[in-house]
């Protein structure tokens, strides 16, 4: 795939400086000074900054004639920072709050978004006062401000925040009028219930049209300026919205998702795209604006997972009300960016080595990720099993040349044409693993993959859980007992598939008169239905697990489920890079300028306290791991060098490649692999 050329690919050390500032602090912005402000970025090795032009409160931070400039600001905040940053070769992204503007709607109540209950989407003066992009807010404020900012300043890019209507629908008078004009019918809350997709589509189209108008306005004035709306190029984002953005931005906070895997998972999708995508973490331990700061150790780990997997690093900060930055924060960011600077030359513009394609569905907005358990569970299994994999969205996957394995989580949605492509992939010798109701079609009442998997869908199980009967080879490393899968199985009838493990039903459904010591009863009858099956198809094999094992694993963390899946994949293919290491070690293989780079990332966190209030597990220190054994199945390679230290390793020649031992991995070690 041809990547769109952009300076953005090469700027790995980005900081977004939040400055949503209300009017009431008496001494707001009184200590702002552009030189000392930018000097802290220079000292911290930052090469891109996001700087505010308008905040959620509707306050402008530049010399304006349109809108309301913050009353505490005497200087031209944006203009002075821009000029000073460019002196130090720091690129500047102009931040503009689009979907939230408290002053605009408080001054013009008819601009408010309205929910299905007829209530305005306001929050009594807090930051979440929501104007409707279909109201005159766009014509009277947004476009005039964007024109003024773009004409006045030579910025390098834009970040337009929150382009969408809340939940993708609004019932204000302007939306009702436009909907009636376009659809010839009334926009009502009842229509949201009966034809939700139509209403949502109108909302998404509204966002796309708004972004198209903004982007066109900017490009007419400054064609070279990069444009982005927050969330563009995330997995599942509408193509019409992506088309308005020259780069992507995907917010990614461990405190929001409850997982440190999110950076890696996002980056493994982003690297398959032809535009650069920021993976944006924050300095804060628990969300935007909490004036806390992570350790340098944690930021180094987070940054490593982003850059090693093909993403662009961006970290969010928060200015103080007086218009200054917290110097101590930039001591930490500077140390972490120094770590990045040593490694980024091995990471920027690198391409992933193709081996496993995880083709998944996106089931929510991917900020909190709570509803996307299947994708996250599958990725977690592959990460912990040290598999080399990329992530694709439903039908948007390539020709699969170079891939050896395809994994389909239970929520994936594919067309008949995509299924034909997968059939060709397996027939040519590929391996496929599908789970649960992957590709289930309501009209056909069957799996679209039925022929490939060699099973016919019958019905869903009445139980919310079940057991898999023992299979000696697949049970390596776990107890030789029927293994629980805490999720409902699917009944399928084998047509050409071989059963490797059967479904064992629980003894009963728990009820007051059928109670056991634990809410999940022990195993009962062994069914005639396959729990795990394998089907020869042409020169390849299609594997099927008749339960949503990936979402089950994400919710339960039942290690035995992951080990069964790992053993199943290991039975049918051998990895390009075999790394013998604990599950908390992450591996990834990339190529750049004719060389192959094996990334090894080490993770350890501290146990949280009370989960309901202290769910965030911080990283204070990471203990090095020693003597990691690696086997690379590539006969063309003969040299392994630890980077950035540039230390050669002793290499053993194998019949199918090379082997070596990595003596120590602290946070992130890169092994440069090449010919002699």
The two tokens of residue 341 are 């600077």
Residue, of 127 and 261, whose pLDDT is higher: 261
Closest CA relative to residue 348, chosen from 642, 593, 10: 10
- Residues forming CATH 3.40.50.880 domain(s) in the chain: 354-574
CB 597 within 8 A of CB 632: no
What average pLDDT is seen over the chain? 95
- Report the pLDDT value the prediction gives residue 462, as an integer from 0 to 100: 93
3.30.230.10, 3.20.20.80, 3.30.1150.10, 3.40.50.10800: which CATH number matches 7-98+140-163+226-346? 3.20.20.80
As a residue count, the chain comes to 676
Segment holding 102, helix H or strand E = helix 102-107
- Report the pLDDT value the prediction gives residue 255, as an integer from 0 to 100: 75
Say whether pLDDT at 631 is over 90.
Answer: yes
The two tokens of residue 111 are 């601009």
**578-674: CATH number:** 2.60.40.1180
What stretches of 506-647 show up as alpha helix (H) in DSSP?
549-556, 559-572
* pLDDT tens, residue by residue, 195-251: 999 999 999 999 999 999 999 999 999 999 999 999 999 999 999 999 999 999 999
- Phi then psi for residue 507, to 5 deg, are -60, -30
- Residues forming CATH 3.20.20.80 domain(s) in the chain: 7-98+140-163+226-346
587 Cβ partners below 8 Å, 6+ apart? 386, 388, 577, 579, 581, 598, 599, 600, 601
Burial of residue 223 (number of CB atoms within 10 Å: 0-12, 13-18, 19+): exposed
Say whether pLDDT at 1 is over 60.
Answer: no
For domain 354-574, give the fold. Answer: Rossmann fold (3.40.50)
- Report the pLDDT value the prediction gives residue 365, as an integer from 0 to 100: 61
The two tokens of residue 212 are 């198209």
Q: Give the mean model confidence (pLDDT) for residues 551-571.
A: 97
Pairing between β-strand 647-648 and β-strand 639-643 as defined by DSSP bridges:
antiparallel
Say whether pLDDT at 509 is over 90.
Answer: no
CB 632 within 8 A of CB 655: no
Q: Give the mean model confidence (pLDDT) for residues 56-76.
A: 95
DSSP three-state, residue 192: helix
Lowest mean pLDDT among 90-94, 202-206, 287-291: 287-291
Say whether pLDDT at 256 is over 90.
Answer: no
- Residues forming CATH 2.60.40.1180 domain(s) in the chain: 578-674
427 CA to centre of own chain? 32
Q: Give the mean model confidence (pLDDT) for residues 429-448.
A: 95
* pLDDT tens, residue by residue, 116-134: 999 999 987 678 999 999 9
DSSP three-state, residue 210: helix
* pLDDT tens, residue by residue, 451-467: 999 999 999 999 999 99
């Amino acid at each position: 795939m041809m990547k769109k050329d952009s300076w953005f690919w090469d700027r790995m050390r980005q900081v977004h400086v939040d400055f949503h500032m209300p009017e009431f602090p008496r001494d707001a912005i009184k200590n702002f000074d552009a030189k000392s402000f930018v000097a802290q970025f220079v000292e911290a090795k930052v090469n891109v900054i996001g700087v505010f032009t308008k905040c959620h409160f509707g306050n402008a931070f530049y010399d304006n004639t349109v809108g309301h400039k913050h009353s505490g600001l005497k200087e031209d905040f944006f203009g002075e920072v821009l000029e000073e940053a460019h002196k130090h070769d720091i690129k500047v992204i102009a931040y503009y709050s689009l979907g939230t503007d408290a002053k605009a709607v408080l001054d013009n109540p008819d601009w408010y978004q309205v929910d299905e209950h007829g209530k305005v989407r306001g929050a009594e003066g807090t930051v979440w006062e929501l104007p409707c992009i279909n109201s005159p807010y766009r014509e009277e404020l947004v476009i005039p401000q964007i024109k003024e900012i773009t004409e006045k300043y030579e910025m390098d890019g834009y970040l337009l925040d929150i382009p969408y209507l809340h939940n993708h629908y609004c019932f204000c008078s302007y939306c009702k009028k436009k909907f009636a004009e376009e659809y010839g019918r009334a926009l009502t809350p009842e229509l949201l219930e009966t034809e939700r997709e139509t209403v949502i589509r109108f909302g998404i189209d509204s966002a796309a049209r708004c972004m198209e108008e903004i982007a066109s306005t900017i490009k007419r004035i400054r064609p070279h300026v990069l444009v982005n709306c927050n969330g563009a190029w995330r997995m599942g984002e509408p193509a019409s919205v992506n088309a308005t953005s020259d780069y992507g931005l995907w917010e990614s906070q461990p405190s929001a998702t409850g997982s440190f895997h999110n950076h890696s998972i996002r980056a493994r999708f982003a690297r398959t795209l032809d535009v650069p995508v920021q993976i944006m973490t924050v300095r804060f331990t628990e969300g935007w604006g909490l004036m806390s700061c992570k350790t340098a150790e944690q930021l180094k780990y987070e940054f490593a997972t982003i850059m090693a997997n093909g993403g662009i690093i961006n970290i969010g900060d928060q200015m103080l009300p007086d218009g200054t930055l917290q110097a101590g924060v930039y001591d930490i960011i500077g140390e972490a960016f120094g770590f990045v600077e040593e490694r980024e030359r091995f990471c920027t513009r690198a391409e992933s080595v193709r081996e496993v394609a995880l083709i998944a569905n996106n089931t929510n907005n991917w900020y909190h990720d709570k509803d996307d358990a299947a994708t996250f569970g599958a990725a977690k299994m592959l990460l912990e099993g040290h598999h080399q994999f990329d992530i694709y969205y439903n039908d948007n996957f390539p020709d699969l040349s170079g891939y050896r394995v395809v994994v389909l989580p239970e929520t994936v949605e594919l067309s008949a044409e995509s299924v034909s492509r997968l059939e060709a992939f397996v027939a040519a010798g590929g391996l496929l693993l599908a789970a649960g109701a992957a590709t289930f079609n309501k009209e056909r009442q069957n799996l679209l993959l039925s022929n490939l998997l060699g099973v016919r869908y019958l019905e869903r199980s009445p139980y919310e859980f079940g057991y898999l009967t023992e299979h000696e080879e697949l049970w390596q490393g776990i107890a030789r007992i029927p293994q629980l899968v805490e999720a409902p199985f699917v009944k399928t009838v084998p047509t050409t598939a071989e059963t490797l493990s059967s479904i064992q039903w629980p003894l009963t459904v728990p009820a007051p008169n059928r109670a056991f010591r634990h809410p999940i009863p022990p195993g009962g009858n062994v069914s005639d239905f396959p729990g795990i099956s394998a089907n020869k198809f042409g020169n390849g094999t299609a594997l099927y697990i008749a339960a949503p094992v990936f979402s089950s694993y994400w919710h339960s963390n039942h290690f035995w489920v992951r080990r069964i899946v790992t053993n199943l994949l290991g039975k049918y293919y051998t990895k390009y890079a075999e790394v013998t290491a604990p599950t908390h070690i992450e591996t990834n293989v990339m190529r750049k300028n004719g060389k192959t780079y094996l990334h090894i990332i080490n993770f350890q966190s501290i146990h949280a306290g009370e989960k309901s209030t202290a769910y965030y597990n911080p990283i204070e220190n990471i203990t090095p791991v020693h003597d990691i054994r690696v086997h690379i199945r590539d006969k063309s390679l003969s040299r392994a060098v630890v980077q950035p230290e540039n230390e050669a390793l002793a290499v053993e020649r194998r019949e199918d490649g090379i082997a070596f031992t990595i003596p120590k991995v602290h946070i992130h070690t890169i092994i440069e692999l090449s010919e002699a």
